[in-house]
């Protein structure tokens, strides 16, 4: 997998986890001129698991997913795929995907996405710390000793 | 044969109005919002997502609101909505070894790599009412002895002086959990003591019972899909039956883990995996007693359960029945209901089961008229026969 693809996978994952409000803030008050190649569409993806975690694949159940494809007036195409049914978020995220491909890695938008990623990582870490507070040491009692 | 009836439109429209009124209840009580259900009734939402076979917490909350909390009716709404959506494809298989753990316990090892993490659980609660929850408007999450049960006579308000409860203080003081926690059966597997769990040759696409009719004997992928969308109560009863001797397994919980897992999907037009976000999953790995043969030394055997959301009872029940349904693979006699795939798979779907049971209350007037006429005719014939028989009876007795 090429380096640009890995970068793109990373920001698409960050945008998929972001709220609509967070994404709207990244886009800013004015939308860049764009064409909707595929209007926001909600469907499902069948989520697969594996028996025992590592064995035979099986269908666990579906999840709602919304996707959108746009093209900015100056060229690049942007995609978004994310869990849920938020059409507005899908459109804005697709616009961001297009802009992020076009812009230098040091651009303000890229930095803002990195900040968002840091906030998401911090939320994960807090959840992990809270879980760690419930870590337990059980000890066995010897009967009849 | 069922013969349809017509009419009753006005009455049916009126019943929809009565339902809307019943759903709303006392108008003096504030209406509950979908977001409140999603955030504060998350375990009910998880059950609706599982049995509705659709992961979407907002829709599950809406379904519960619309169905007045009737979980099976809510699952039915989810199933019906799902049929209106296009399916973009299948995800990459989720990797539960990469789960962001919120809870992880094992009944087989007390010291396991990564540790035992109780997380949010009712296991160690006293099952005493917390009447403080009746007091609305309390500022935030509070823990500790509830003043209404700690001896202060007549105390009804949690905010009154004397409240011993405090805000949680165990956050942020602890180092985060290990980034990767091994699945417990994999630890046993490394020693060769556990039945291996490997994908079959070529890692085939799983069977999808929503697209193709099921035939028997059913393979494990079919059984796991059916149980994942199956009724929690039905699987709980079957799992319980296995434990009580109607199935003969002696299980240990190797591991239960609850947390968030990424879902990846490869859109055709992109050709690389896109991370769609995270879903909450509960996984249960049950360790059962041995099976061995001439060629294989005795090994522990596995039962597997996986469910949407925090759904421990469901995942545990599923893993018990999964192991019971492997009876044929291990050459065990399938004597009990939990070991019979046709019985389990045909009766675990509560939307189908409710449909067939509850259709009995719909008009069956023509069928019943037929039955009525039949029984009247049988009785007429019997009376005629008895009337003709008295003279012959004494002879028959000789």
Interval B211-257: pLDDT, tens: 999 999 999 999 999 999 999 999 999 999 999 999 877 799 999 99
Q: Which of A53-62, B28-37, B356-365, B373-382 has the lowest mean pLDDT?
A: B356-365
Task: Give the residue carrying structure tokens 């009525």.
Answer: B372
A3 pLDDT band, cuts 50/70/90, is confident
Instruction: Report which DSSP code applies to B303.
Output: E
> What confidence tier does B329 reach under pLDDT thresholds 50, 70, 90?
confident
- Report helix, strand or coil for A113: helix
Cα angle at B223 between B310 and B217, to 5 degrees? 170
Find the angle CA(B313)-CA(B319)-CA(B325) to the nearest 5 degrees.
Answer: 135
B339 closest CA partner among B251, B266, B241: B241
Looking at residue A144, its pLDDT comes to: 65
Residue A73: which domain range?
Answer: 3-127
**Window from A93-97, B27-31, B101-105, B190-194 with minimum mean pLDDT:** B190-194
**For residues A56-73, average pLDDT:** 97
Question: CA end-to-end span of chain B, whole Å?
Answer: 48
CA distance A6 to B267: 15
Cis peptide before B217 (omega within 30 of 0): yes
Least confident of A4-13, B114-123, B293-302, B318-327: B293-302
For residue A135, being part of any structural domain is answered with: no
The reported pLDDT for the residue numbered B395 is 55
Q: According to the 3-state scheme, what is the secondary structure of B317-359? A: HHHHHHHHHHHCCCCCCCCCHHHCHHHHHHHCCHHHHHHHHHH
Q: Which one has a higher pLDDT value, B378 or A144?
A: B378
**pLDDT exceeds 90 at position B66:** yes
On the question of pLDDT at B371 being above 90, the answer is: yes
Burial state string for B82-117 with b = 16 or more CB within 10 A and e = fewer than 16: beebeebebbbbbebeebbbbbbbbbbeeebebbbb
**Chain A interface includes B388 (CB < 8 A):** no
Distance of CA B266 to the CA centre of its chain: 29
Interchain CB contact of B59 with A (< 8 Å):
yes
Chain A interface includes B211 (CB < 8 A): no
**How many domains, in total, are found in chain A?**
1
Task: Say if residue B273's pLDDT is above 90.
Answer: yes
Q: Which pLDDT score, from 0 to 100, does residue B152 have?
A: 43
With CA atoms as reference, the chain A residue closest to B287 would be A52
* pLDDT value at residue B12: 92
Q: What is the mean pLDDT of residues B88-106?
A: 96
Average pLDDT of B42-50?
A: 98
The whole-number pLDDT of residue B150 equals: 45
What percent of chain B is predicted at pLDDT more than 90? Answer: 68
Q: Residue B199 is nearest to which of A55, A60, A79, comparing CB atoms?
A: A55
Separation in Å, CA of A33 to nearest CA in chain B: 23
CB pairs under 8 A between A and B: 241
Asked if the structure places residue A106 within a domain, the reply is: yes
Q: Rounded CA gap, A118 and A125, in Å?
A: 10
Rg (CA), chain B: 28
Question: How far apart (Å, rounded) are the C-alpha atoms in residues B229 and B76?
Answer: 12
Kind plus residue range of the DSSP H or E element containing A91: helix A87-102
Angstrom distance (rounded) from CA B397 to CA B394: 5
Better-scored residue on pLDDT, B163 or B153: B163
CB B303 within 8 A of CB B251: yes
Assign B396 a pLDDT band (cuts: 50, 70, 90).
low
Contact A30, A52 (CB under 8 A): no
Measured between alpha carbons, how far is residue B52 from residues B47, B55, B232, B340 in Å? 8, 8, 12, 24
Strand partners, B101: B259
Identify the three-state secondary structure at position A57. strand
The answer to the question of residue A139 being in a domain is no
- What is residue B156's predicted lDDT score, i.e. its pLDDT? 44
Q: Is the pLDDT assigned to residue B184 strictly greater than 80?
A: yes
Which residues, 6+ apart, have CB-to-CB distance to A39 below 8 Å? A68
Q: Residue B124: CB partners within 8 Å, gap ≥ 6?
A: B118
Q: Residue B149 — very low, low, confident or very high, per pLDDT cuts 50/70/90?
A: very low
Decide if A21 is inside a domain: yes
Average pLDDT along chain A:
94
Provide, as residue numbers in chain B, all residues whose Cβ is less than 8 Å from the Cβ of A133.
170-171, 173-174
Whether residue B288 has pLDDT greater than 50: yes
Compute the distance between CA of residue A42 and CA of residue B369 in angstroms, rounded to an integer.
48
Quick check: is A9 in a domain? Answer: yes
- What is the three-class DSSP state of B244? coil
Q: Which of A44, A58, A60 sits opposite B85 (nearest CB)?
A: A44
Cα-based torsion angle of the residue sequence B39, B44, B49, B50 in order, rounded to the nearest 10 degrees: 140
What residues of chain A lie within 8 A of the CB of B285, using their CB?
A: 52-53
Query: Given a cut of 90, is residue B155 above it in pLDDT?
Result: no
More confident residue, B18 or B189: B18
Q: Is A142 a domain residue?
A: no
Q: Residue A137 falls within a domain, yes or no?
A: no
Q: Would A144 be classed as within a structural domain?
A: no
Pick B115's closest partner by Cβ from A61, A62, A135. A135
Supply B165's token pair. 């409860």
pLDDT band at B154 (very low <50, low <70, confident <90, very high): very low
- More reliable by pLDDT, B34 or B153: B34
């Amino acid at each position: 997998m090429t380096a640009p693809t890995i970068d793109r996978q990373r920001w698409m994952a960050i945008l998929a986890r972001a709220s609509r409000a967070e994404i709207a803030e990244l886009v800013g008050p004015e939308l860049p001129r764009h064409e909707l190649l595929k209007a926001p569409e909600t469907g499902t993806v069948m989520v697969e698991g594996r028996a025992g975690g590592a064995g035979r694949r099986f269908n666990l159940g579906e999840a709602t997913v919304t996707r959108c494809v746009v093209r900015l007036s100056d060229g690049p195409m942007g995609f978004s795929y994310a869990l849920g049914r938020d059409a507005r978020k899908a459109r804005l995220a697709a616009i961001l995907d297009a802009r992020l491909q076009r812009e230098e890695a040091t651009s303000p938008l890229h930095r803002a996405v990195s900040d968002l990623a840091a906030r998401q990582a911090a939320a994960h870490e807090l959840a992990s710390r809270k879980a760690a507070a419930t870590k337990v040491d059980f000890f066995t009692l010897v009967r009849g000793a | 044969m069922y013969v349809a009836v017509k009419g009753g439109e006005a009455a049916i429209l009126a019943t929809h109005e009565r339902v809307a009124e019943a759903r709303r209840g006392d108008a003096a009580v504030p209406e509950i919002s979908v977001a409140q259900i999603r955030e504060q009734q998350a375990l009910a939402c998880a059950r609706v997502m599982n049995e509705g076979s659709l992961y979407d917490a907002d829709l599950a909350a809406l379904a519960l609101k619309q169905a007045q909390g009737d979980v099976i009716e809510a699952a039915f709404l989810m199933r019906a909505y799902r049929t209106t959506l296009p399916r973009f494809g299948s995800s990459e298989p989720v990797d539960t070894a990469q789960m962001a753990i919120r809870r992880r316990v094992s009944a087989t090892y007390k010291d396991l790599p990564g540790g035992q993490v109780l997380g949010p659980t009712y296991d160690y609660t006293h099952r005493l009412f917390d009447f403080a929850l009746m007091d609305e408007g309390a500022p935030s999450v509070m823990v500790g002895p509830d003043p209404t049960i700690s001896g202060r006579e007549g105390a009804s308000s949690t905010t009154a002086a004397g409240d011993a409860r405090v805000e949680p203080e165990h956050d942020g003081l602890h180092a985060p959990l290990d980034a990767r926690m091994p699945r417990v059966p994999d630890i046993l597997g490394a020693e060769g003591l556990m039945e291996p769990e490997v994908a079959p040759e070529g890692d085939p696409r799983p069977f999808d019972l929503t697209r193709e009719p099921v035939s028997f004997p059913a393979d494990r992928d079919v059984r796991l899909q059916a149980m994942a969308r199956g009724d929690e109560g039905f699987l709980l009863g079957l799992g319980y039956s296995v434990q009580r001797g109607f199935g003969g397994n002696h299980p240990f919980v190797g591991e239960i883990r609850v947390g968030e897992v990424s879902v990846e999907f490869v859109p055709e037009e992109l050709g690389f995996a896109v991370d769609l976000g995270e879903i909450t999953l509960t996984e249960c790995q049950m360790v059962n007693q041995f099976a061995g043969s001439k060629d294989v030394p005795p090994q522990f055997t596995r039962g597997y359960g996986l469910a949407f959301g925090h759904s421990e009872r469901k995942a545990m029940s599923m893993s018990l029945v999964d192991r019971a349904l492997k009876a044929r693979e291990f050459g065990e006699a399938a004597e009990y209901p939990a070991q019979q795939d046709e019985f389990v798979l045909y009766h675990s779907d509560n939307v189908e089961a409710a449909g067939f049971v509850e259709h009995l209350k719909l008009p069956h007037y023509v069928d019943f008229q037929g039955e009525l006429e039949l029984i009247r005719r049988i009785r007429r014939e019997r009376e005629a026969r008895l009337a003709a028989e008295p003279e012959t009876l004494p002879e028959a007795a000789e």
